[in-house]
């Protein structure tokens, strides 16, 4: 059985962690990251939640005779941006969710 004083401290700690998690999620929702490919010929913008928000293709990337290369550049830029978004999420949420394994239940 957990003593009453320890229980209230544990509850306060859990509430503080919940607020920190909500704050981090809000920051992620507002964050944007960019990824690029082909020496910035294609740039993708992704939200902190991983949603594709924008795609910029420079005119010199467009060759009607070689659409496969453009498709590869678009994919690479989106993957780059998505990877950065996932890294941002891990950096923001990791310290908060990593400590949950030590809770005594």
Domains of the chain by range and CATH?
4-99 (3.30.1310.10)
CA 68 to chain CA mean position, Å = 28
pLDDT in tens, the chain (105 residues): 556 668 888 888 888 888 888 888 888 889 999 999 999 999 999 998 889 999 999 999 999 999 999 999 999 999 999 999 999 988 888 877 775 555 444
Predicted pLDDT at 71: 96
- How many Cβ atoms are within 10 Å of 60's Cβ, its own excluded? 9
Predicted pLDDT at 16: 86
Residue in 72, 73, 68, 69 with CA at minimum distance from that of residue 56: 73
Predicted pLDDT at 17: 85
Residue 37 pairs in a beta bridge with 42
């Amino acid at each position: 059985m957990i003593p009453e004083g320890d229980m209230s401290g544990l509850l306060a700690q859990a509430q503080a962690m919940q607020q920190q998690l909500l704050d981090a999620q809000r920051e992620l929702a507002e964050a944007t990251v960019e990824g690029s490919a082909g020496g910035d010929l294609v740039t993708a913008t992704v939200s902190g939640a991983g949603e594709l928000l924008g795609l910029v293709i420079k005119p010199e990337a467009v060759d009607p005779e070689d659409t496969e290369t453009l498709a590869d550049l678009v994919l690479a830029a989106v993957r780059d941006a998505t990877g950065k978004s996932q890294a941002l999420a891990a950096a923001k949420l990791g310290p908060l969710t990593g400590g949950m394994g030590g809770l005594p239940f």
